[in-house]
Amino acid sequence: MDRASLHLVRERCLLGSLSPHSGDLYFWLKRLIDVSLAFALLMLLSPLMLLIGVLVKVDSRGSALFKQERMGFNWRKRKPRPFLMYKFRSMYQDCDDACHRDYVRRWINGGLDGEEGTAKLAGDRRVTRVGRILRKTSLDELPQLWNVLKGDMSLVGPRPVPLYEVAEYEPWHMRRLEATPGITGLWQIRGRARVGVGEMVSLDIEYINRQTLWVDLKIMLLTIPALISGRGAA
């Protein structure tokens, strides 16, 4: 996304609609919790992450990490901003993303029907053998703990999306960009890839309007059974 497009995104966002309970104290406490838990989890899970990195490289050629520019949110300045998000690579190296761009465009604009009308492209042949397991278990998202430490993401918040997805948004969709993107959120615990774009955006707006430390804690706790069940995972 070029600078002009990014400026348009920022202009279209209806900022200032945060919950009346979500003041500066909330954001600073949320940041403190994010840093503390993300650091602890990185230390605890580092052997597992090292193993996953080795398995990804053994399974297919290329880097163990996948990097992509996603749309984030600067909570201090209250405006969206792009950032570089990290995941374990679950696809073959140097795959063409044209099919996913087309899928996202049709998904947002109502060009998909039935089970296809969900957030993730089913039967994606670009996904590796190890990648299927990582996506099913959500282990591919563990490197996002580093994004949390950097301040690009939070443990709880809307799903971070590629810039080409934002380019397809309707004006009301922009409301979901009014919070720091998270590793988990209402969308993840209430359906994940099974919901349509309208429901996904509505869940994110519901979170933005309700966000408090108590809501964040409940979402984190409910994420555990959602991960174990694998509901809505790719």
> For 98-116, how does the pLDDT look when each residue is reduced to its tens digit (9 = 90+)?
887 888 888 788 765 544 4
**Which residues lie across from 72 on neighbouring strands?**
81
Q: How far apart are the first and last CA of the chain?
A: 26
Tokens for 193, please give them: 């890839």
pTM comes to 0.82
List of long-range contacts for 49-56, beta carbons under 8 Å, 24+ apart: 49/142, 49/143, 52/88, 52/134, 52/139, 52/142, 53/88, 55/130, 56/88, 56/89, 56/90, 56/128, 56/130, 56/131, 56/134
Please state, in angstroms and as integers, the Cα–Cα distance from residue 49 to each residue in 21, 61, 127, following that order: 36, 18, 19
Instruction: Indicate the length of the chain as a whole number.
Output: 234
**Dihedral angle sign, alpha carbons of residues 57, 60, 63, 69:** negative
Residue 118's pLDDT is 57
Give the angle subtended at the CA of 44 by the CAs of 221 and 137, to the nearest 5°: 55
Element (H, E) at 218: helix 213-229
Residue 150's pLDDT is 95
- Note whether 50 and 83 are within 8 A (CB): no
Collect all residues with Cβ–Cβ distance below 8 Å to 137 and sequence separation of at least 6: 227, 230, 233
Average pLDDT, integer, range 79-88: 93
**Which residues lie across from 85 on neighbouring strands?**
68
Q: Where are the domains of the chain?
A: 3-12+21-229
Residue 222 in this model has a pLDDT that exceeds 50: yes
Please state, in angstroms and as integers, the Cα–Cα distance from residue 83 to each residue in 56, 73, 184, 206, following that order: 24, 9, 17, 24
Q: What is the mean pLDDT of the chain?
A: 83
